[in-house]
Amino acid sequence: MNKIVLVGAGGHALSVIDSIQSNGKYEIVGITDAGAVVGEKVLDYEVIGNDAILNSVFDSGVKYAFVTVGSIENTSLRKKLFCMLKDIGFIIPAIVDTSSNIGSDVWLGEGAYVGKNTVVNTKSIIGDMAIINTGAIIEHCCSIDEFTHIGPGAVICGDVKIGARTHVGANATVIQGVIIGDNSMIGAGSIVVKNVPSKVIAYGNPCKVVRNNE
């Protein structure tokens, strides 16, 4: 079993730990966090230090790492941590909960997380560090770009393309063939029937752009 260190001791870590435990592929050696107290536990796993110790963790023989900091509005910290881990030399796997249903010919990027009771259907692409949260459905031939977060219960219909660093809120529905740009936010429960540009906040039924997201 490969040893893995987790980076981030917040709420997202709980979901990821549970998924790692479900698949039995990795042994968690501990968690690093900039703000937590060394010795504190997240589920059964200890905070072993801040991010400064990650070089020594790698040198000790732990070659796998995973970013367990979540994101809603800003993905900059996740990107910073991802780049730091890559520079150290860690392998950053995709973590897929065993309760998910992954179709054939699906591509999962580095550091992607696919949570409980999700569906990712055939020929879809899930980019690096994307989060497909609890109960979300990604239909066939979709493209979810890097660092994008698909919230719990969201439904992404077939042939949808969602850009990088975008957030689709819980229980939103994106109709087939829609294109959503980079760095945008789609409000929870929205019904997206038309394309949404980059760098906007949009919500409602039907979903409409309400302001810029600079």
Dump pLDDT digits (tens) for 169-209: 999 999 999 999 999 999 999 999 999 999 999 999 999 99
Specify the pLDDT at position 2.
95
Specify the pLDDT at position 5.
98
What residues are paired with 125 via a beta bridge? 107, 143
Q: 94 with 20: CB under 8 angstroms?
A: no
pLDDT, mean of residues 109-124: 98
**Distances in whole angstroms, Cα of residue 209 to Cα of each of 85, 157, 180, 184, 200:** 36, 20, 11, 10, 6
Residue type, 73: E
Specify the pLDDT at position 71.
82
Dihedral angle, C-alpha 16, 18, 24, 29, nearest 10 °: 70
Is 42 or 5 the better-scoring residue by pLDDT? 5
DSSP-assigned letter for residue 111: T
Specify the pLDDT at position 23.
86
Interval 45-96: pLDDT, tens: 999 999 999 999 999 999 999 999 998 778 899 999 999 999 999 999 999 9
